[in-house]
Each structure stands twice: as C-alpha cells, then as structure tokens.
Amino acid sequence: MFAVRFRETAREQLARAGVATTHRGEYETPCFMPVGTRGAIRHLSSQDYEQLGARIVLGNTYHLMLRPGAQVVSDMGGLGEFAGWKGLTLTDSGGFQVFSLSPDVDDDGVSFRSTYDGSMHRFTPESAVRTQQLLGADIQMVLDVCPPLPSTDEVIKLALKRTSNWAARAKATHTRADQSLFGIVQGGIDPVLRQESAKITANLEFDGYGIGGLSVGETREEMLVALAAAIEHLPHDRPRYLMGVGDPASLVEAVNLGVDQFDCVMQTRIGRHGTALTSSGKLNITRAEFSTSQDPIDLQCVCPVCQRHTRGYIRHLFQVNEPTAARLVSMHNIAFTLNLMQQMRDAIAKGEFASLRKSLLAVWAGSANEKA
C-alpha cells in the first residue's frame, strides 16, 4: 500500500483539483509548499505559517544533515516535532544544493564540501534515503542529478541515466512505511528525454513524482514543453510535484498542464528585499512614493500583514534596516501564494479555471513580472 494516495475531486481540461492523503494527514491540491531550508522559513516561526494556512513546509536535507545533523533531528522527534510544526513536512534530497557547488559526481554518488566549514561529505542514493528517514518528514525525495541549463546533450543524458539508476537504488533502500518516497523526472528541456525519464520513473511505482531540473535557466515556454512531455507519462493517481517553481505565471501554467504541488524560495527571497506579490503584479515597497501611503501592500489581500500594516510603515522599516520589514513582506508573499492556490482550486471546481488563468497571465506574464 502506498503512503500517499491522490483523489481527484474536480477537473477542467488537464487542470485538476484533488486531495492527497499521507500517513499523517491530507493536503488539498493544487498546493504551494513554503521552503523552510534549515527547519524554518526565514524570519518566520511555525506559528506564523500555521496562521497563514500552509499545509506542508519543506526542509532541506543538505543543510539539516550538516547542522544540526540528521540524528539530532531524529532524537528530537523528527523534523515537524523539532520545529514545532503541526502540519506536514517534505524533505528534498539536497541534490540541488549539492550540484550547485560543482561537486565530484560519479555513477555511485556525489562528494561535496560543506558550505559551513569546508569538510568533505558524500551522498549516495542509499545514504540520502537513510538521512531523510532520520529527518522523518512525511515525504522524502530521491537523490537526483540536476544539470544546469543550458547543458550539452551528453550532460543531460548522463544526468538522466544516473537519476534513473539512483531512483531504483533509493526505492530498494527506503523502509519507513509511514514516510512517502517520491521519484524525480529529469531530462532537460528535450521532450523526448523528459518522456523517457517519466516512463522509467513511473515504472518504479513511487508514491508521487517530482519534476526537477526546470526553472534553472530556460524560458517559461521551454519549461512548459518539457513539463507537458513528462506529465503525459506520469500516473493519474499520484501527486505531481514541479520542484522549485513559484512565480504566479508559471504556477497557473503548470496547473493548467496537470501539476499538483509546488515549492519555491522566491516568495521570501524577494520579500527580504522589499518586493511584494500583489493582485496587480510585483510591487517594490521601498520606493519613495509609498512613504506616506496608508494603503496595505495589496488592497485585495486579507492576510494578517495587510489587515494591520500600511505601505508607508513597512517602507519606513526597510529604510531603517529593521528586520521586521523582511518578515512582514515575506509573510504577505507566502499568504498571497497560498491564496492564489486556493483561487485555482476553487476555479477548477467551478469550471472557471480558464478564465482565472487568462486574468492571471494578463498580470503576470508581462516582462515586468517574469520569473524572479
């Protein structure tokens, strides 16, 4: 029996709403999962994202295994208990972070240096699974090879081959019945390679399927072609997870193709620098024109930040380097994105997704609001 089951509740063309059931609870899809890299979303507490309505929060295996260490997290009751988070958790394998460090990779695994102290470490598909079993998230991801784009065909094909082999080894290693294991599809922007990877990964019968290696340098149009090719060959009764994508235009386009869940650091990364996501597009709240504005960040938003604080006040906080400024805009951006996913769920249920997609793209597909 699989640790995650997906039940479709509504559909409009390829876009679908549903409920994914894990060992510890359910989450509605399409859903957005905020990223708590080191066990917390930067500047926020678990109480904050509980209040904002998040259902799943990510942790990063690479960082958590280095500090405080996977065994420490296990001894503290697992990632959720450790962080005081009552919702669901997902850990990525750490592969994306590792491959951004130009590591030494071979057919067996990957060796890399710690970003904290320079010490050498090694990941294999097996050790990545065992580490994440100690971290104890509800969902863990297999270790994959994430090549940058653009890359040569040889690099993409080798990454696909290793990802496929590593996925089988991870599946054979995973033993926790209360923890789901998701495979990952690679293949660059080549539709044929994406189809090949999706077929191989689907045949291994994972609990769900991540689609990785996108939004790493290609255009949105190239991403969507590759994404559609992969989804065509993934099972309908398992969640589909587009990894590392969170800008509104890409979210709605991916949902339109049948993606169920997403994660991204963009919401908090741009929030820390004063850029807010609003119903009218991106807004740089540090601009002088907002110095005496009594409007909230977004007049259409009902998040706790917009209910209480003005643009003028938040701009002042940025001007005096008050850390609360980054916290407030980060909270708003996460709330905005979670609400956007709710809008998509509702629209699919009502048969109005095509209309919502059109209105969102009118705001977000322009050059000023391209992927961050």
pLDDT for 347-361, tens place per residue? 999 999 999 999 999
Co-location of 241 and 109 in the same domain: yes
In a domain, 315, yes or no: yes
Positions of the chain with pLDDT lower than 70, given as ranges: 1-2, 367-368, 370-372
What pLDDT does residue 197 have? 98
Q: Which of 264, 283, 318 is the last residue of a domain?
A: 264
Note whether 123 and 109 are within 8 A (CB).
yes
Is the bond into 323 cis (omega within 30 degrees of 0)? no
Co-location of 190 and 278 in the same domain: no
CATH of the domain at 244: 3.20.20.105
Q: Which of 214, 232, 264 is the last residue of a domain?
A: 264
What pLDDT does residue 46 have? 97
Note whether 227 and 209 are within 8 A (CB).
no
In a domain, 50, yes or no: yes
In a domain, 249, yes or no: yes
In a domain, 1, yes or no: no
Co-location of 173 and 316 in the same domain: no
Q: Report the C-alpha gap between 244 and 302 in whole angstroms.
A: 26
Q: Report the C-alpha gap between 119 and 108 in whole angstroms.
A: 20
Co-location of 294 and 184 in the same domain: no
For residue 294 the two structure tokens come to: 């009594």
Residue numbers annotated as active site: 92, 263
Co-location of 198 and 317 in the same domain: no
**Diameter of the chain by CA atoms?**
60
Note whether 209 and 194 are within 8 A (CB).
no
Note whether 28 and 53 are within 8 A (CB).
no
Beta strand 26-29 with 88-92: parallel, antiparallel or unpaired? Answer: unpaired
Co-location of 154 and 237 in the same domain: yes
Co-location of 68 and 174 in the same domain: yes
In a domain, 21, yes or no: no
For residue 103 the two structure tokens come to: 């590591």
In a domain, 98, yes or no: yes
- 29-72: pLDDT as tens digits: 999 999 999 999 999 999 999 999 999 999 999 999 999 999 99
Co-location of 260 and 306 in the same domain: no
What pLDDT does residue 2 have? 61
**What's this model's pTM, rounded to 2 decimal places?**
0.97
Residue with tokens 């081959």: 161
Please, which residues bridge with residue 275 across strands? 284
In a domain, 371, yes or no: no
Q: Report the C-alpha gap between 310 and 260 in whole angstroms.
A: 34
- CA distance between the termini of the chain: 40
Co-location of 299 and 165 in the same domain: no
In a domain, 22, yes or no: no
Q: How many domains does the chain have?
A: 2
Q: How many CB atoms lie within 10 A of CB 71?
A: 12
Is the bond into 191 cis (omega within 30 degrees of 0)? no
What pLDDT does residue 95 have? 80
Co-location of 309 and 236 in the same domain: no
Residues in Cβ contact with 66 at an 8 Å cutoff, skipping those fewer than 6 apart: 114, 115, 116, 121
Range of the domain at 324: 271-357
What pLDDT does residue 367 have? 53
Q: Which of 220, 244, 264 is the last residue of a domain?
A: 264
Co-location of 319 and 180 in the same domain: no
Co-location of 88 and 211 in the same domain: yes
Q: Which helix (H) or strand (E) holds 219?
A: none
Q: Report the C-alpha gap between 311 and 116 in whole angstroms.
A: 37
